[in-house]
Amino acid sequence: MAFTLWRVDSIKKTADSPLSENPNLDPKTFYGNLNESLVEHILSQMGKVPRSKLEKFGNQLLVIAYYISKMKERLDFEREAEKAIRASRVNLGRVKRKIQHSIEYLRQAEETAKGMQELRPDLRSLEPARKALERVEKRFTDLEASAAALIHPNLRKRGEGGLADKTPYKLQHPKFKPTPGSQQVLHSAVDMLDDEIQRFTRGKVPPHHVNEFIVEFLKLLEWNTSSANVKTIRFRRRRKASDDTSSDPRAHQ
């Protein structure tokens, strides 16, 4: 069964909606795939909905879909790149240490040359060569630290965290652990969808319909989960929010 609920040309790709290579996120495909579930689980429980409100809801769903898809792609990349980045980091460290040895040998040579009065003064000083090597050493030190910083914090091995702290660059990673099928990303996706659905429906839709809609939504992003799992995630989040409110003294003033 097919429904036409969205004017696709009215859906804006906002600045915070990164592009994704997932063909399911083409707006026409996305809304076409989502329409049936939307009607069955959300709109059928609400009655008449203004088109402007529906289009705004659709826009937000597409933003969430982009975010989830890009986050999954980014975490996949973090895992896949780990081995190559670590190999580069190890080689950069080896080069750095060899340069440090060369600097030390050059210092020793300089000390010997200082006592050789038969040489001209400019030949007894190896400072220019040593300074040049120290600049190269600093460059490789920064490169080694930056390579360590490119590895996701949850994938770093012993010593790489300390190295990463020394990078002169500001590098950022997703806050989620880069595990296959990250449960943290799944929980975040359910939370974002739940918030948006509740804003749109104002709590009019029964929980089991919300759960089923979220399951169908995630399937569009090639993420299979169950209605029972979504129910558990939503329940735990609400319980945590309730506990946080109860423990906040300001809530009792």
* pLDDT at 133 exceeding the cut of 80: yes
The b/e string for 6-38 (b: 16+ C-beta within 10 A; e otherwise) is beeeebeeeeebeebebebbebeebbbebbebb
Q: What are phi and psi of 33, to 5 degrees?
A: -75, -25
pLDDT of residue 167: 94
Residue 209's pLDDT is: 95
Residue 252 scores a pLDDT above 70: no
Write down the pLDDT at residue 8.
47
Which residue type is seen at 241?
Answer: A
pLDDT in tens, 192-222: 999 999 999 998 899 999 999 999 999 988 8
What pLDDT shows up at residue 20?
54
**pLDDT > 70 in the chain, percent:** 86
pLDDT in tens, 66-83: 999 899 889 999 999 999
Burial of 75 (0-12, 13-18, 19+ CB in 10 A): buried
Q: Which long-range contacts (CB under 8 A, 24 or more apart) does 86-90 make?
A: 86/147, 86/151, 86/157, 86/160, 88/147, 89/144, 89/147, 89/148, 89/151, 89/160, 89/163
Is the model more confident about 207 or about 119?
Answer: 207
Rounded distance between C-alpha atoms, residue 108 and residue 129, angstroms: 13
The domain segmentation of the chain, as residue ranges, is: 8-72+181-246, 80-164
Taking the model in full, what pTM does it have? 0.75
pLDDT given for residue 243 in this prediction: 65
pLDDT (average), residues 115-131? 79
More confident residue, 223 or 134: 134
